[in-house]
Amino acid sequence: MKKILLVDDDPQIQKLYNIFLKNAGFAVVSARDGQEGLAMAAKEKPDLIILDVMMPVMDGTEMLLKLRQNPAFKNIPALMFSSLANRPEDIKFAQEAGAVDFINKDIDVKILIAKIKQILKIPG
């Protein structure tokens, strides 16, 4: 079973997406900010990380940059996740920092699951 680390400071978003991802057959672990996310990534060794952009303590972009500097996490795919409008500068920065995609939190769950399966090379 593939493991996803969901890093988001909103407990409602965490709860909702935990349900969606678990129902799709993924193991899910969560963190509330980038600093906790880094610790959780080291402990859990996820197959994919979904990162909120704006969080306290350490935001998603800073966490992504730290992940990419560490050889142990360099190749874990990361999706940036935001409720803000997908501004071109945010998308460009996420791609340059090593994110595989930048998605909006209001994405249709079926599209999100399909995107995750494509990234993780899971059939169907």
Give the tens place of pLDDT for each residue, 68-100. 898 988 889 999 988 766 677 777 777 887 889
Domain total in the chain: 1
* Confidence (pLDDT) at 56: 85
Side by side, the strands of the sheet bearing 78-82 are 27-31, 3-7, 48-52, 78-82, 101-104
What is the pTM for the complete model shown? 0.91
Q: Decide if 60 is inside a domain.
A: yes
Show the domain range for 112: 3-119
CATH of the domain at 41: 3.40.50.2300
* Confidence (pLDDT) at 85: 60
Q: Decide if 124 is inside a domain.
A: no
pLDDT band at 10 (very low <50, low <70, confident <90, very high): very high
Q: Decide if 92 is inside a domain.
A: yes
